[in-house]
Amino acid sequence: MQAHDGMYIDGEWRPATSTDTIEDRNPADGTLLGTVPAGGPADVDAAVAAARAAFPGWAATPPSRRAELLAALHRVLETRHEEIARTVTRELGAPIGFARAVQASVPAAVCASYATLAAEHPFEERVGNSRVLHEPIGVVGAITPWNYPLHQIVAKAAPALAAGCVMVLKPAEDTPLVAQLFAEAVHEAGFPAGVFNLVTGLGPVAGQALAEHDGVDLLSFTGSTAVGRRVGALAGGAIKPVALELGGKSANVILPGADLTRAVKVGVANVMANSGQTCSAWTRMLVHAEQYEEAVELAASAANRYPPGDPEDDATRLGPVVNARQYERVTGYIARGEREGARLVAGGAEAPAGFEGGCYVRPTVFADVRPEMAVAQEEIFGPVLSVLRYEDTEEALRIANGTVYGLAGAVFAEDEESAVAFARRLETGQVDINGGRFNPLAPFGGYKRSGVGRELGTHGLGEYLQTKSLQF
């Protein structure tokens, strides 16, 4: 798609107030994909004003009609599936096969789920002598990341619109084209003007202006814990609700008796997907001492089956990371892991041969990782796996829970009952049992510093509703 040179505000593309622009580059080779406006506070003001003007009419729109428009949006996303996938591949570097299967398909499925929920959700209920109303909060400010750019937009926009809220979106500056594509889809689906608005811009400028805007009733942010802390403070100072989906350092706990080969293979695949740029990735693999060396060999072998490649090639499984800054961050952590004494069994900090011109990181596995090491404590956001040893299940639990994060995790065990018993003790918001599949209807969100609130399904819808009770 061609980049728009304006903002999508009040149902139309209009010029930005500033002539500043953001370059959008392909991380595979550095080529310029296009430029988009770098919006500022005045653009945010205009978008919030348009949203606020549209709110009364949209809130009063019957849920059945909101459901119809969300279903129309789903159809547009399905029709533009290949365009979405290729846009994400070029902006993010996600391999085209992964972009089709996940980056384009999952958001469409989430949109469809909210079309159903908008039609079926009980926005009123009786509790004794009270009538309880679940009403839209109002104007939602959404700030989304680059790693799953369309999914994170839809995971906020679809429930907000289903609830009767209106939205101003500030997407990540690394993936603005797919955000513009979503605005086109909203327009094509026929949503009323002002219900959805898009302002592209830099986080410290447009993002901050949106976070602290008095006309925003709720702020929903997905990104790093460090930025989330600042965003939360801005929103909290204004006494407005905030939803934060932040970082993770998830553990894949392989209990004795589990199918070790399968657990390691699935675990490595989880880390390598999207070049490791997944907040919920199982970047710590915990293995019993008696099986440890076998697991390390299996993990190294599995990682070596993810050679970096051209993301537009159907055969590629591992593309580049999103930009040069992220490349330096990830390779810096790899070098730090070696300095701290972790044993490198696959990959490394050097650029892969033949791909020195792009932001490519070799698939990396560390063994002999101690729980206190940086590679076991800090979110790297790259294709880097740390394998840790434990002596008994109590130690495994202490290690798994021994970070400031609590977003996701996995447990592999000989039987489901044992896996569930262990998962119940994990301090994390979502756990996959023996390789369980992603469920777009299940709540997603974290414990501890991994965030506040939940996305997806009815729990995600509830984030955009406020409660009023009428007594009779």
Is 290 considered catalytic here?
Answer: no
Q: What is the pLDDT of residue 449?
A: 95
Q: What is the pLDDT of residue 458?
A: 97
Task: Write the DSSP string, 345-357.
Answer: EE--SSPPTT-TT
Reported confidence tier of residue 106, pLDDT bands at 50, 70, 90: very high
Tell me the one-letter amino acid at 184: E
Please work out, in degrees rounded to the nearest 5, the angle formed at the alpha carbon of residue 276 by the alpha carbons of 271 and 279.
Answer: 95
The alpha helices in 60-148, defined as continuous H runs, are 63-79, 81-92, 96-98, 105-120
pLDDT(1) > 80: no
- 3-class SS at 129? coil
Distance, CA of 90 to CA of 104 (rounded, Å): 13
Q: Containing H/E element for 466?
A: strand 465-471
Mean residue pLDDT across the chain: 97
Tell me the one-letter amino acid at 332: G
| Tokens (6 digits) for 393 | 């299940």
Question: Mean per-residue pLDDT for 350-357?
Answer: 92
| Active-site residue identified among 245, 379, 455, 463 | 245
Architecture of domain 6-246+449-471: 3-Layer(aba) Sandwich (3.40)
pLDDT digits (tens, 9 = 90+) for 152-177: 999 999 999 999 999 999 999 999 99
Distance, CA of 48 to CA of 71 (rounded, Å): 25
Q: Determine which of 89-98, 237-246, 365-374, 444-453 has the lowest per-residue pLDDT on average.
A: 237-246
Distance, CA of 366 to CA of 386 (rounded, Å): 5
The alpha helices in 137-175, defined as continuous H runs, are 149-163
pLDDT(2) > 80: no
Q: What's the distance, CA 384 to chain centroid? A: 18
Burial of residue 472 (CB within 10 Å: 0-12, 13-18, 19+) is: exposed
Q: What is the pLDDT of residue 166?
A: 98
Whether the Cβ atoms of residue 411 and residue 431 lie closer than 8 Å to each other: yes
Instruction: Name 21's bridge partners.
Output: 37
Beta strands in 274-377 (DSSP E): 284-288, 343-346, 364-367
Is 111 considered catalytic here?
Answer: no
Whether the Cβ atoms of residue 85 and residue 103 lie closer than 8 Å to each other: yes
Structural domain boundaries of the chain? 6-246+449-471, 251-440
pLDDT digits (tens, 9 = 90+) for 383-425: 999 999 999 999 999 999 999 999 999 999 999 999 999 999 9
Question: Mean per-residue pLDDT for 359-370?
Answer: 98
For 235-244, which contacts have Cβ atoms below 8 Å and span 24 or more sequence positions? 235/211, 237/212, 238/212, 238/214, 240/216, 241/137, 241/217, 242/218, 242/452, 242/453, 243/218, 243/219, 243/451, 243/452, 243/453, 243/455, 243/463, 244/451, 244/452, 244/453
Q: What's the distance, CA 108 to chain centroid? A: 15
Helices 63-79 and 149-163: angle between axes, nearest 10 degrees: 160
Q: What is the pLDDT of residue 100?
A: 98
**The model's pTM:** 0.97
pLDDT(338) > 80: yes
The CATH number that domain 251-440 falls under is 3.40.309.10
Instruction: Name 433's bridge partners.
Output: 411
pLDDT digits (tens, 9 = 90+) for 118-149: 999 999 999 999 999 999 999 999 999 999 99
Distance, CA of 294 to CA of 145 (rounded, Å): 37
Angstrom distances, CA of residue 467 to CA of 61, 124, 135, 140: 18, 10, 6, 17
Q: What is the pLDDT of residue 238?
A: 79
| Active-site residue identified among 279, 359, 455, 463 | 279
pLDDT digits (tens, 9 = 90+) for 239-282: 889 999 999 999 999 999 999 999 999 999 999 999 999 999 99
